[in-house]
Amino acid sequence: MHAQSIVMVVTDVVMPRMGGIELAKRLRQMQPGVPLLFVTGYVEQSETLHEQGTAVLLKPFSPDALRKAVAAAISA
């Protein structure tokens, strides 16, 4: 996949090997304008990411909530 074809990234905050925050840092270096949506089950992380202006969707979420969050992140 070419970097130019990335429209948006949805990632969990906690993942093995590379967490979502590290992924976001690398992504922003390569493609600074790509919208990013974090999903997490941890309220504390959610609050911190919101304070940084990052889009966050708290787990568990409905398909409709995901659709709305993706649409909002892409249009921001």
pLDDT tens across 9-21, in order?
999 888 888 888 8
For residues 2 and 22, what is the distance between their CA atoms, to the nearest angstrom?
20
For residues 58 and 51, what is the distance between their CA atoms, to the nearest angstrom?
14
Per-residue confidence at 31, pLDDT binned at 50, 70, 90? confident
27/67: higher pLDDT: 67
For residues 41 and 57, what is the distance between their CA atoms, to the nearest angstrom?
9
- Residue with tokens 């999903």, as numbered in its chain: 39
Tokens read off for 41: 């089950």
pTM attached to this predicted model = 0.77
- Residue with tokens 């249009």, as numbered in its chain: 75
CA 49 to chain centre: 10
Coil, strand, or helix at residue 61?
Answer: coil
